[in-house]
Amino acid sequence: MRASVIQIAVDEGESVESRRRRAASMVRDQAGADLVVLPELWTTGAFAYEEFGQEAEPLEGPTYETMAKAASDAGVWLHAGSIPERDPEGPLYNTSLVFSPAGDLAAVYRKIHRFGFDKGEAVLMGAGAELVTVRLPSTTLGLGTCYDLRFPELFRGLVDAGAETLVVPAGWPERRRAHWTLLAQARAVENQSFVVACGTAGTHAGVPQAGHSIVVDPWGEVLAQAGAGEEVLTVEFDPGKVATTREQFPVLKDRVLGLQPPRRP
């Protein structure tokens, strides 16, 4: 399996339309890859809260159209990162789109854990409620987005649903870069799964981005990691390693479910 992780720079000097064209061209350059991944909210920037409403798109809006075509031009499975989605009957969502090599929509994932506590995404966007997996010929993807990476129960749910490769587009800030690498490795080790995590480069809304997109194997080894700037990280891995790791070191079988809460005196 060859994966290309497109750590695109999101800077305020570039228009959304220009970045959309550039992202499509970067996807087309990945012909020959099995899986291509873009980051979270790369049209606006994950911290450009004022732009969410202005740049929000219907699900089948310009980013959908452009990315469906880019996936079919390149003949790749494309996780097109996420868009600020305007649901005509509801709030905005932070919505990831996955396309097949034919350019058909294969999955939609609305981010479950919204970042910002009492501001930003947490108040401007609605929360998704559904776990999403996508069956590829050689592996099953489990989808999460950025802040979701801090919530192990989401990824355990995805593993229970058959996920073997956890894909996490993000707009992670430089300030918490150490958490990013640590959490990506933790999710890989505890779930005995590959983690493919794609961040952005650049600075938007005054928040310097961490970059450092990362691919981790089911043993927790870092297969590849990007630097801070715009970069396409390309990595080859054997999806069969999930099954061998789970057979040879079968910790997932030792889970004890349904533990009782502590008794109150």
Ligand X SMILES: NC(=O)CCC(=O)C(=O)O
Binders in 145-164 for ligand X, by CB under 6 A: 146-147, 150
Instruction: Give least dist CB 120 to ligand X, A.
Output: 8
Q: Does 218 participate in binding ligand X (rule CB under 6 A)? A: no
Binders in 233-252 for ligand X, by CB under 6 A: none
Of positions 77, 172, 194, 237, contacts ligand X by CB under 6 A:
172
Size of the site for ligand X (CB under 6 A): 11
What is the number of other CB atoms lying within 10 angstroms of the CB of residue 157? 16
Residue with tokens 């996920």: 163
157 contacts: CB under 8 Å, gap ≥ 6: 131
Q: Which helix (H) or strand (E) holds 26?
A: helix 16-28
Tell me how far apart the alpha carbons of residues 70 and 2 are, in angstroms, rounded to a whole number. 17
In the complex with ligand X, the residue whose CB is nearer, 167 or 235, is: 167
Q: Does 171 participate in binding ligand X (rule CB under 6 A)? A: yes
Judge whether 93 and 111 are in contact, CB under 8 Å: yes
Instruction: Give least dist CB 84 to ligand X, A.
Output: 12
Tell me how far apart the alpha carbons of residues 27 and 38 are, in angstroms, rounded to a whole number. 9
Q: From the candidates 51, 55, 85, 146, which is the catalytic residue?
A: 146
Tell me how far apart the alpha carbons of residues 185 and 176 are, in angstroms, rounded to a whole number. 15
Q: Does 176 participate in binding ligand X (rule CB under 6 A)? A: yes
Instruction: Give least dist CB 257 to ligand X, A.
Output: 27
The 10 Å CB-count burial string (b at 16+, else e) for 115-139 is beeeebbeebbbebeebbbbebeeb
Instruction: Give least dist CB 121 to ligand X, A.
Output: 6
Applying CB under 6 A, the span of 74-82, 166-174, 184-192, 246-254 interacting with ligand X comes to: 166-174
221 catalytic per annotation: no
Applying CB under 6 A, the span of 96-104, 136-144, 171-179, 213-221 interacting with ligand X comes to: 171-179
146 catalytic per annotation: yes
Applying CB under 6 A, the span of 6-14, 31-39, 167-175, 239-247 interacting with ligand X comes to: 167-175
Judge whether 24 and 64 are in contact, CB under 8 Å: no
For residues 200, 66, 123, 90, the Cα torsion angle rounded to the nearest 10 degrees is -160
Of positions 115, 155, 194, 237, contacts ligand X by CB under 6 A:
115
Q: From the candidates 51, 57, 111, 198, which is the catalytic residue?
A: 111
Binding pattern to ligand X, positions 35-74, x when CB under 6 A? -----x-----x----------------------------
Instruction: Output phi, psi for 91, to 5 deg.
Output: -80, -170
Tell me how far apart the alpha carbons of residues 82 and 77 are, in angstroms, rounded to a whole number. 15
253 catalytic per annotation: no
Among all residues, which ones are annotated catalytic? Answer: 40, 111, 146
Residues of this chain that bind ligand X (CB under 6 A): 40, 46, 115, 146-147, 150, 171-173, 176, 179
